[in-house]
Chains A and B, each alone.
Chain A
């Protein structure tokens, strides 16, 4: 085997690929060949580094230099300077926005400084399409350890002792789920991986599947051994074609090595995994709806109990965990449950991956210990709010979560404190809003989503959320009353208490949390008929300031409905009745004589 003196790691995740990282790999290989270095230096396509804001990323080992925003045309310079002459290409190195200095090593960047990578341990480190590289970083050792030296109960006990809780939503202890499935007697059991990552703004599961698919395959096999199942199913979104492809490769490689199939590693244990593609229904992220979908039917949730651990897929006992939860399993077995339990808080152990997005400088994935504060994530790792604007709120937990205001930024992040704040850990999406976002409109946006995605099985969710949406529509149209605010609260409470599944139970969270923390914005809409952020179209008015207007007629000529009148060189006037509030005049005016209020 060739011993390369240098490895160039190029991100092959969905984000960086759409910024041409595939072409970067080709260009680097070409340049290396031209320089006669292709036997000395290896180009590796790897998984997501998490720093998606500045992609595509190229990382150089052993130097540990981290290049950002690399273009295919930069390949020649990278090879000529860094590879041949050993000189770091400064212009492609991360520049700290605060101090302005260039930081070459990823370990020195504030984005990575506070991270502890367990679930993402191999993302950016190995080639996800190579089982050999996975094995080289202790891959399949945890499975080997479980099969050779642990009983089923010991594996379950390790999970219980570690304190690992489900990373997909509600945070149910993983060990208890496994225990229940182990205890239930049956001729057939299943292990299901929930890879139907549907929360908008959450993409950590996609990154794990694309960057380290074997970690999920191995953990599923361990779960199979622990509960006595011989079949696993990964239910993955059809919207993630690259993740599907890499999973297929990983499963085929594991079968080839005999790490899946009959008699694994010479033991009596057999386990197979197949894929089941989703078809675009958010509710299928709910575990019982997902099971119905795997069975080929409509993804409508079932009544619980019985829980899947007793009666799950095809009526058989089933352990169902999400991708990030599985990604934590192997390190727990290898390093011991005590190690895992030493990270995090009393009730929330280990780390959580957060997907930072929205109005934040460093969009990306960050894996941090539980108990870190929102402020540390947003200000240190996220680099603060974009374009120097003021922070207004952070939305966590997707359509099931809530909006957390500035006053609560020092909240430590764990399952309990987020729930107490009216939000939710959810899958770990974290969307930052600034002062140009209207919180009533955001609540309406989420309700629109829920109404669209409600499966229609139970009335509180199907009808109740529709009514909530209509009330919010009225408020943003400027027709809301104080009675509407009361109705939002009572109706929201009813939906929360009476819906069948978590989709319905949590759907009012965006409304209730904004109503609690941003009541003044609701009042402005209802009482003053005004949208303080200038977002709700029916509540904004454009007006020409007569003293500033030079009568250039640009606004009148650009207005699509011809509602601006006025003579040349004299102040113009907007006819409010005809105005459709498109804002064209506001953006076109050369002297800023038009105001939005």
Chain B
């Protein structure tokens, strides 16, 4: 997501993607992926826009958006911290890690800090079970995380914040 782009240019870019599709049949999920990349999340006006452009009912778009955990209807922080709750991480103590994040960030699961810096969420297995417990910050994987490491991961986000 580029912060300089205006809403207008983002809609234009989304339209360019949709226009370039060889086949709109079955393209809804791929379009929503692109839209979320552009806008950061999928608010109602974006969903309506997609529905109109693909000529499908808005209810269907909403149904798909809410079905898949990857799509968000609320804005996210600059950093999304995802604690893995897959079984391998779970049996190696990722619940304690999650609790520590909740305590230190003073937010619950799927919530965002007041300064819009960090969203805390959980995921089910990124397949890096050798490094359990695993925490992902945006695309970066932190392995063998214990409750003791939580503060430094948050510090990393703070240090890079705003950039």
Direct contact of A and B (CB under 8 A): yes
Q: Mark B101-143, 1 if CB is under 8 A from A, else 0.
A: 0000000000000000000000111111111100000011111
Q: Mark B24-68, 1 if CB is under 8 A from A, else 0.
A: 011111101100000000000000000000000000100110011
How close is B30's CB to chain A, nearest CB, in angstroms?
7
B142/A18 in contact, CB under 8 A: yes
Give chain B residues whose Cβ lies under 8 Å from the Cβ of A278.
68, 70
A536 to B46, CA, bound (A): 44
B64/A203 in contact, CB under 8 A: no
The reply to whether the CB of A431 lies closer than 8 angstroms to some CB of chain B is: yes
B26/A14 in contact, CB under 8 A: no
User: Which of A177-185, A336-344, A357-365 sits within the interface?
Assistant: A357-365
The reply to whether the CB of B92 lies closer than 8 angstroms to some CB of chain A is: yes
Q: Which of A15, A206, A355 contacts B131 (CB 8 A)?
A: A15
- Interface band, chain B: 35 or more
Give chain B residues whose Cβ lies under 8 Å from the Cβ of A197.
127
The reply to whether the CB of B9 lies closer than 8 angstroms to some CB of chain A is: no
Give chain A residues whose Cβ lies under 8 Å from the Cβ of B128.
14-15, 18, 52, 203
Give chain A residues whose Cβ lies under 8 Å from the Cβ of B6.
none
The reply to whether the CB of B91 lies closer than 8 angstroms to some CB of chain A is: yes
Q: Which of B30, B127, B130, B140 contacts A55 (CB 8 A)?
A: B130
A279/B130 in contact, CB under 8 A: no
The reply to whether the CB of A198 lies closer than 8 angstroms to some CB of chain B is: yes
Q: Which of B29, B64, B130 contacts A276 (CB 8 A)?
A: B29
Known: A18-B140, A298-B64, A431-B88. A279 touches B70 (CB 8 A): yes
Q: Which of B67, B70, B123, B130 contacts A15 (CB 8 A)?
A: B130
The reply to whether the CB of B11 lies closer than 8 angstroms to some CB of chain A is: no
**Which has the most chain A C-beta neighbours within 10 Å: B86, B127, B132?**
B127
Known: A14-B141, A297-B60. A201 touches B129 (CB 8 A): yes
A431 to B129, CA, bound (A): 10
A298/B25 in contact, CB under 8 A: no
Give chain B residues whose Cβ lies under 8 Å from the Cβ of A355.
129
A357 to B88, CA, bound (A): 6
B26/A239 in contact, CB under 8 A: no
B70/A280 in contact, CB under 8 A: yes
Known: A297-B60, A358-B91, A431-B91. A240 touches B127 (CB 8 A): yes
A201/B125 in contact, CB under 8 A: yes
Q: Which of A202, A240, A281, A358 contacts B67 (CB 8 A)?
A: A281
Known: A295-B26, A298-B67. A52 touches B91 (CB 8 A): no
The reply to whether the CB of A171 lies closer than 8 angstroms to some CB of chain B is: no
Q: Which of B60, B68, B70, B132 contacts A357 (CB 8 A)?
A: B132
Closest to A399 in B: B87
Q: Which of B67, B89, B124, B131 contacts A19 (CB 8 A)?
A: B131
The reply to whether the CB of A433 lies closer than 8 angstroms to some CB of chain B is: yes
Known: A15-B143, A52-B131, A298-B64. A279 touches B125 (CB 8 A): no
Closest to A358 in B: B91
B87/A279 in contact, CB under 8 A: no
A18 to B88, CA, bound (A): 17
Known: A198-B124, A279-B71. A18 touches B131 (CB 8 A): yes
Number of contacting residues on A, CB 8 A?
A: 53
The reply to whether the CB of A228 lies closer than 8 angstroms to some CB of chain B is: no
B87/A429 in contact, CB under 8 A: yes
A223 to B142, CA, bound (A): 38
Give chain A residues whose Cβ lies under 8 Å from the Cβ of B4.
none
The reply to whether the CB of B69 lies closer than 8 angstroms to some CB of chain A is: yes
Closest to A197 in B: B127
A296 to B126, CA, bound (A): 23
A61 to B125, CA, bound (A): 33
Give chain B residues whose Cβ lies under 8 Å from the Cβ of A395.
87
Give chain B residues whose Cβ lies under 8 Å from the Cβ of A431.
87-88, 91
Give chain A residues whose Cβ lies under 8 Å from the Cβ of B129.
52, 201, 203, 355, 357, 363
A200 to B140, CA, bound (A): 19
The reply to whether the CB of A324 lies closer than 8 angstroms to some CB of chain B is: no
A433/B28 in contact, CB under 8 A: no
A446 to B87, CA, bound (A): 8
Known: A293-B29, A357-B129, A357-B130. A238 touches B124 (CB 8 A): no
How close is A111's CB to chain B, nearest CB, in angstroms?
12
Known: A14-B128, A201-B125, A201-B129. A279 touches B68 (CB 8 A): yes
Give chain A residues whose Cβ lies under 8 Å from the Cβ of B86.
200-201
The reply to whether the CB of A299 lies closer than 8 angstroms to some CB of chain B is: yes
A364 to B131, CA, bound (A): 10
How close is A71's CB to chain B, nearest CB, in angstroms?
14
How close is B60's CB to chain A, nearest CB, in angstroms?
7
Interface residues of B in 64-103 (CB under 8 A from A): 64, 67-71, 85-92
Give chain A residues whose Cβ lies under 8 Å from the Cβ of B26.
294-296, 314
How close is B135's CB to chain A, nearest CB, in angstroms?
10
Known: A281-B69, A298-B63, A395-B87. A276 touches B127 (CB 8 A): no
The reply to whether the CB of A159 lies closer than 8 angstroms to some CB of chain B is: no
Give chain B residues whose Cβ lies under 8 Å from the Cβ of A294.
26
Give chain B residues whose Cβ lies under 8 Å from the Cβ of A357.
87-88, 129-130, 132
Q: Which of B33, B91, B124, B142 contacts A449 (CB 8 A)?
A: B124
Known: A203-B129, A358-B92. A277 touches B33 (CB 8 A): yes
Give chain B residues whose Cβ lies under 8 Å from the Cβ of A295.
25-26
Closest to B54 in A: A296
A442 to B90, CA, bound (A): 9
- With A14-B128, A297-B28 already in contact, 15 other A-B pairs whose C-beta atoms are closer than 8 Å: A15-B131, A55-B130, A200-B85, A200-B125, A276-B29, A276-B30, A277-B29, A293-B29, A296-B26, A299-B68, A357-B132, A358-B88, A437-B91, A445-B87, A455-B67
Give B residues with C-beta under 8 Å from A: 25-30, 32-33, 60, 63-64, 67-71, 85-92, 123-132, 139-143
Query: Can you identify 30 A-B contacts, CB atoms within 8 angstroms?
Result: A17-B141, A18-B131, A18-B140, A52-B130, A198-B124, A198-B125, A200-B89, A200-B125, A201-B129, A203-B125, A203-B127, A276-B30, A277-B29, A278-B68, A279-B33, A279-B71, A281-B68, A282-B124, A293-B29, A294-B26, A297-B28, A298-B67, A299-B67, A355-B129, A358-B87, A359-B91, A395-B87, A398-B87, A446-B87, A449-B124
Give A residues with C-beta under 8 Å from B: 14-15, 17-19, 52-53, 55, 197-203, 206, 238-241, 276-282, 293-299, 314, 355, 357-359, 363-364, 395, 398, 429, 431, 433, 437, 442, 445-446, 449, 453, 455
Across chains A and B, which 4 residue pairs bring their CB atoms closest together, nearest first?
Answer: A52-B130, A200-B86, A203-B127, A279-B68
